[in-house]
Amino acid sequence: MHELIRDITLCILFAWMLGLLAHFSRQPLILAYLIAGFCIGPFGAGWVKSQDSISVISELGLIFMLFMIGLEIDLKKIVRAGKVILFAAGGQLLGGCLLGILFFAGLGLSLGGGHFDALYLCIACALSSTVIIVKVLYEKRELDTLPGRITLGVLVLQDIFAILFLAVQPSLANLQLSVILLSIGRVAVLVAAALLVSRYVLPRLFHQIARRPELILLGALAWCFLVAETAEQLSLSREMGALIAGVSLSTFPYALDVTAKVTTLRDFFITLFFVALGMTIPVPGLSVIGLALMIAAFTVVSRLVTTFTPLYLMKQGLRASLLPAINLAQISEFSLVVIQTGVTDNHIAPETANAASFAFVVLAVLSTFVMTRSDEITRWAIGPLKRIGLRDLDHGNGHAEEGQEGSHGEARRIVILGFFRAASALLAEIERQTPVLLEQITVIDFNPVVYQTLLSRGLHVIYGDISNVDTLLHAGIGKSEMIILSVPDALLKGASNEKLVRHVRALNPKAMIVATADLLSDVGELYAAGASYVTVTRLSDANELFTVIEAAQAGLLADKRAELDQRLSERREVLP
C-alpha cells in the first residue's frame, strides 16, 4: 500500500515537471506524460518497478478516461449529423480499416490464431486524437467553421466505432457469429439499463442533492464504478462499463454539472494512465522504430485518402475536403486504450504495442505543427491538385485561374468579401427591407455550404479564397462600387482586414470600402490603409444591450422579447 502511494507521488511529480516543459515548448501534454512514465519506469530510472502498481494506476486512469469520453459523446448531435459527416466518417473508417488490414497483413503481422496485431493496428490507425484536434482548433478559432464541424463530427462517430470494437474485443479469440451477437446483446442490455436509470432515476436523486457539490461528484463516481463492475460481471470489461456510464450520463439534465465536477479528478487519473503507459514502453530497438515509422506514415497517407475522397465526391470543394483530412491525421489516445486492452488479453505482441505508442508520439508532435499551418498547406496543395485534373467549386467561374469568363460573370456593384454570420444577417436584412438590392450583390467565399445555398437562392456568388489577390483580380472587383469586409480578423484565414483593404484599394482606387475592426486601435490603421468606413461591432452590440436594460427597467422586457421573436421568425439566414 505504501509502495503504491509512493509510486503515484512519483507519477504526479514527474508528470508536472515535464508538463511544464511541454507547456513552454508548446508540445502536447500527453507526450510529456508518456516521457515521464518512461523516465521513472522499469525501463528508465527504475524508481517504479512494481507491476501491480503500474497495473492499478493504469486501470484507474483508463476507467476515468473512458468515463469522460462517454460524458462528452453527444447522442443528439450524432442523430442530427448531416449526410456529409456520416459519409465522411463512414468512408474514413471503412476505408481506413480495409487499407489497414491489407497493409499490416502485407507486412507479415498476425491476423488470427489468437494473435491479432494487424487488426488492432488497423483499428488504432483509424481513430484520431480528440485531445489534440480540439485543442488546436480551439486555439485557431476553427471549431465553428465548416471543416471544424466536419472534423468534430467524424471524431464523434470514430468514438462510436471504437465502442463497437470494444464490445466484441473480449471474444476475438473465439470470433463466431453467436459469440459476437452475445457480446453485442450484453452491451445492448447494459446500455438500455444504464439509459433508463439515468433518465428516470438519477435526475430525481441529483435534483435532491443539486446544492451539495460533493454529493454530485460522489454520485457520478458511484455510477461510473457501478456500471463498470456490472460490465465486468457480464464478461465485458470495466473500461467498457465506464464508457457506457459516461454515455448514459451525457443525456441527462445534470450532465454539464457532472462534467464540471469530475473534470479535475478526470485530469488526475488520465495523467496517471498515460504515465503508467509510458512505464511499459522499453527502449526501442531498430525494428520497433521502423514499425512505428511505417505505422505513422500509413496513418497520414490513409487518412488523407479516406477522408479527402468522400468529402470531394460530395462536392465540398478542395479546401473543405483537405482541411478535415489534415486535422484528423494522427493516432488517437483512444487508440492507446484499444492497444492496451489487446495487450491485457494477449491479443497483440508487446513489441507491436510499443511501436504503436511511438507512432502516437511522433504524430502527436508533427500533427500539432501541421494543423497550426493547415491553411498555408491547403493553399499550397490546391494548385497541384487542380493541375492533375481535380476540379474545385470554382470550375467555370469567372475568377478561375485561366481568367476566362464563366457563367457567373464578374462581380457586381456591391461585393461582400468573406461570408460569416454578420454577412448572413446583412443579406437577411436586405431581403426584408430592399429585396431588389440583392440583384446588385456578389458574395465571394470558399465555404461550399454558403456557395451552394446562395446559388440555390438565386444570388450571385463566386467561390474563392479572398486572401488570394488573384481571386480578387479575376473576380473583377476593380469595377465594383462598394466592397464590404464583414469578417473580423479573428476569423479570417491568411489575411486581415488591413491587408485586404490595401489589396482592394490597389485594385480599385475609387470604390467605397467598408471594413470591420476587432479592436478600437485597429480603426485608425484601417482608415490609413484606404478604408472608407470602419464598423466596430462592439458598439452596435453595446447599443442593443443598453436598449434591453432600458426595456427591463421600464417593465417592457417581455414586449421587447416578443418583438425580437417576431423579427427572428421572418428571417431566412444562410448561417442560422
Quick check: helix, strand or coil at residue 485?
strand
∠ CA 474-477-480, nearest 5°, is 150
pLDDT, average across residues 41-68:
74
How many CA atoms lie less than 13 Å away from 541 in the CB half-sphere? Answer: 6
Mean pLDDT of the chain: 82
Q: Mind listing the pLDDT tens digit for each residue in 418-428?
A: 898 889 999 98
Q: What percent of the chain has pLDDT over 90?
A: 19
pLDDT, one tens digit per residue, over 213-241 is 677 778 778 888 888 888 878 777 777 78
**HEC secondary structure over 245-287:** HHHHHCCCCCHHHHHHHHHHHHHHHHHHHHHHHHHCCCCCCHH
Q: Which of 214, 218, 243, 213 is nearest to 231 (CA)?
A: 243
What are the tens digits of pLDDT across the range 440-467? Answer: 999 999 888 888 889 888 899 998 888 8
Q: Across residues 71-76, what is the average pLDDT? A: 66
Confidence band (pLDDT; 50, 70, 90) for 274? confident
- Can you tell me the distance from the alpha carbon of 111 to that of 113, in angstroms, rounded to the nearest whole number? 7
DSSP calls for 213-250: HHHHHHHHHHHHHHHHHHHHHTTS-HHHHHHHHHHHHT
Residue 270 half-sphere exposure, CB side, CA atoms within 13 Å? Answer: 19
For 518-546, the pLDDT digits (tens) are: 888 899 999 999 999 999 988 888 988 99
Contacts of 371 (CB under 8 A, 6+ apart): 132, 133, 136, 137, 140, 326, 327
Mean pLDDT, residues 311-337: 88
3-state SS assignment for residue 415: strand
Residues 6+ apart with CB under 8 A from 547: 560
For the record, the C-alpha cell of 327 comes out as 486535422
Predicted confidence (pLDDT) per residue in 477-517, tens digit: 888 999 999 898 888 877 889 999 999 999 999 999 999 99
Return the pLDDT at 400: 39
The CB density around residue 544, as the number of other CB atoms within 10 Å, is: 10
pLDDT over 80 at 320, yes or no: yes
**Tens-place pLDDT, residues 11-53:** 888 889 988 988 888 777 777 888 888 888 887 888 877 767 6
What pLDDT sits at residue 264?
67
Query: What kind and span of H or E run contains 186?
Result: helix 177-200
Q: In the 8-state DSSP scheme, what is residue 480?
A: -
How many degrees, rounded to 5, is the angle at CA 522 between CA 517 and CA 524?
115
**442 three-state secondary structure:** strand
Dihedral over Cα of 215, 219, 222, 228: its sign: negative
Identify whether the C-beta of residue 411 lies closer than 8 Å to the C-beta of residue 477.
yes
pLDDT at site 467? 86
What confidence tens digit (pLDDT) does each residue in 79-120 have?
A: 555 778 888 888 999 999 999 999 998 888 877 777 788 888
Give the per-residue pLDDT at 500: 92
Number of alpha carbons in the 13 Å side-chain half-sphere of residue 145: 28
Burial 507-531 (b: 16+ CB within 10 A, else e): bbeebebbbbbeeeebeebbeebbb
Q: Which of 5, 19, 14, 55 is nearest to 38 (CA)?
A: 14
Residue 396: which pLDDT band, with cuts at 50, 70 and 90?
Answer: low
pLDDT grade for 407, boundaries at 50, 70 and 90? very low
pLDDT at 403 exceeding the cut of 50: no
